[in-house]
Amino acid sequence: MSSSTGELPPTKKAGNKAKKLKVNMTLAKYEVIKKIARDRGWKMVTDEEDKAAVATCTLHWIDVPDFLSTFKHMQPFQKVNHFPGMSNLARKSKLARNFQRMTKLFPTQYDFCPKTWILPFDYTEFSQQFNADGISQRAFIIKPDHSCQGRGVFLTKNLKDVNKTDIFVAQRYITAPLLISGKKFDLRIYVLISSIAPLRVYLFQDGLVRMCTADYTAPNADNMELKFMHLTNYAINKRSNNFEKNKDEAQDGAGSKRSLRWFLSWLETKFDKEAVAALWDGIGDICLKSILAVQPTIAQEYQSTFAKFAKKVDDDGANINANSSSFAVLGMDVLVDEHLKPWLLEVNHLPSFHCDSPLDWNIKERLLSQTLDIMQISVDGKSAHDSAHLKHVARRLYGDKADDNNANPDATDGPETTSRPADLSRADLSTALHAFYTDMNPDKCKDIELIVAKFEHNQEELHKSLVAKYAKGVFDYAPQWDGEELVDFVRLYPPPVPTQKNAIYKTMLEACQSNIQDQLMRLTAPLHRKGEDGTKLPPLSKGGNKKELGRDCFGYTGTDKVGHLEIKEKKPLPMPGPAQVAAAARLMLGHSSKHDIPLPIRPMSQNTAPPPRRDSVQYGMAYRERLEGLKNKPTVAMTQITFGGFG
């Protein structure tokens, strides 16, 4: 009905409704991720309410271990906050095996984990740490392989306390940790893996300091069972009467749980700034090396799981995170000893995001919100995938003509032009100069602040002067961020500024990938015949110690032999001559093999009739006539046959 003025009332168009990004929260149990989704205006769906919406959602967020079924139903435009195969990093026994393998390749680089034994497999070697009575002067911490939050963990100096049937991980207890107010603590470090192939790793520059609630004393017979003294797990210490809860995020240096930023500032009051910076670099170093040890295994499982989702990566690498179907936020537990050396205790692929204090909300909300920004999660993911799919189908049907029709007619091929990089920010310029002088002239590192102040607005002149002197300039060491907007994160791999020091990471990754390929060859090569497809077993490194020989792909010794693994040309066996054949015949008949004893003639059985003699056949005209006669001759005599009876 029209109005009194004769004008039609305005109507809302369906197309004007803004799209909302849908996130599957069926298996999400923490309130912080739900708050972030609400603040961003996302639509949270569950399979109980709307299964159709779950099938078209952009993000699956999972906070429980049961996420394998999600991989089977994912679409190419969807993301999930877990990688397949993360048990290789999170399970204590598998992580220990991976570290043992990497220790053989890089003995001096993988010394950041306490000496570990996997029980009961390494029980014999572990028992050598005790005397004849089963007592040791050292303390060992025993952890169940599959548990978390400190469940089932205990300290012991007696071998009888260790169960021989269940799977445990035994580690040497670090008896001289760094203390805060007389209490032991560890650090919860958050690491983001945004892509596994190619690898992208980021370090969150904040975290949690989890403190014990009882003053520390070295393990002895009287305090071995005091978990509030020796175990730093928050799930254990929060039940203590001495636990101090944080009540204000601004006061992050008080209570039994504190922030990592406060810890680093507190350290600078106790130690030199260079030592504190070296500690933070060391923490990032051990976190990255832990991931490098398992990257080939996880990448193989990721590619087999999402093989149908293969996506093209841009040359500049700007869409690596956007094209990754998985990402993961890991919680790594690091202990610092009194010499400021970091020790990796364990890795959690399902870290707790429960927030029961203002400090938790401040740290974990920033962590997860910035993680979603780095992953470039967009509501247009499905439409972009559908458009790319249509272009792919058109290209398969019409070839290059489809690309020619979509090409810009105004675009013309012109000469290539090279432009110098844009001026760096003050922070990036300082980072680039530090990396440059570390490689070229370490003595100049102390003058970096003066150089930055002088050439901040004249970087081109600085670059040319350095090139003239060192053949490289400051722009060659400029951080490469691939269009990332990082706030509290810093990229660990690939390093933003390649230097001689961090070049070892690429070498480690390549060596680990090659080692995994060699192990696969050892498993699959015996299934192929020699010379087929060029299959050849990789050589084993021969050492003087017998334990270094004959290792299988899991690192166990004595399961194979080097001689059997090496491919050797086998000489053909000599053929027996007439004399050997005759001797073998004599032995089979029960007689001597000597030539001077004649072989007895076996009498023929009386019931055995001699074979009938056949007439010789003359192949000629007579033979052909005989064949023609046999064609008309019936093979069976025809007689009258009556079926049934009538009577």
Determine, yes or no, domain membership for 301.
yes
Q: Where does 118-183 have alpha helices with state H? A: 123-127
Q: What averages of pLDDT result for each successive group of 10 residues across the chain (647 residues)?
A: 43 56 93 94 88 87 87 88 91 91 90 92 91 92 83 90 87 94 95 94 95 93 90 91 87 89 95 94 95 93 82 63 92 95 94 93 95 87 73 71 51 41 74 80 83 83 83 76 76 86 90 82 57 50 50 49 49 70 75 58 55 61 72 58 48
Residue 147: per-residue pLDDT: 75
Does residue 270 sit in the same domain as residue 351? yes
Max CA pair span of the chain? 137
- Dist. CA 216–CA 470, nearest whole Å: 53
Tell me whether residue 596 is in a domain: no
**Beta pairing partners, 185:** 211
In a domain, 406, yes or no: no
- What integer pLDDT is reported at residue 530 of this predicted model? 46
Question: Do 376 and 433 lie in a common domain?
Answer: no
Do 192 and 316 lie in one domain? The reply is yes
**Which backbone phi and psi does 443 adopt, to 5 degrees?**
-70, -20
Q: Are strands 179-180 and 168-172 parallel, antiparallel or unpaired?
A: unpaired
Determine, yes or no, domain membership for 23.
yes
Is residue 532 situated within a structural domain?
no
User: CA 553 to CA 525: how far, in whole Å?
Assistant: 13
Answer yes or no: do 307 and 357 share one domain.
yes
Q: Give me the domain span that covers residue 441.
A: 425-478
Model pLDDT, residue 482: 60
> Residue 618: what residue type?
Q
pLDDT digits (tens, 9 = 90+) for 183-240: 999 999 999 999 998 999 999 999 999 999 999 999 998 898 899 999 999 989 989 9
**pLDDT value of residue 411:** 42
| pLDDT at residue 604, rounded to an integer | 54
> Residue 305, SS3?
helix
Q: Looking at the structure, tell me whether residues 342 and 257 fall in a common domain.
A: yes
Terminal Cα distance for the chain, rounded: 100
Question: Same structural domain for residues 435 and 375?
Answer: no
**Given strand 22-27, what is the order of strands in its sheet?**
43-45, 22-27, 59-62, 79-80
Rounded distance, CA 309 to CA 324, Å?
9
Residues whose CB is less than 8 angstroms from the CB of residue 51 and which lie 6 or more positions away in sequence, other chains included: none
Flag whether 317 is in a domain: yes
Q: Closest Cα to residue 219, out of 228, 211, 229?
A: 229
User: Are residues 320 and 365 both part of a single domain?
Assistant: yes
What sign has the CA pseudo-torsion 445, 451, 455, 460? negative
266 and 301 part of one domain = yes
Dump pLDDT digits (tens) for 292-343: 999 999 999 998 888 777 666 555 556 788 889 999 999 999 999 999 999 9
| In a domain? residue 377 | yes
CATH number of the domain that residue 258 is part of: 3.30.470.20
User: Does residue 370 sit in the same domain as residue 464?
Assistant: no
The Cα–Cα gap between 489 and 177 comes to 27
Q: Is residue 2 part of a domain?
A: no
Residues 195 and 54 reside in one and the same domain: yes
329 and 288, same domain (yes or no): yes
* Segments in 85-154 forming alpha helices (H): 87-90, 92-105, 123-127
- In eight-state DSSP terms, residue 82 is -
Report the domain count for the chain: 2
Long-range contacts of the stretch 582-591 (C-beta < 8 A, 24+): none
- Both 308 and 445 in a single domain? no
Domain boundary among 446, 478, 510: 478
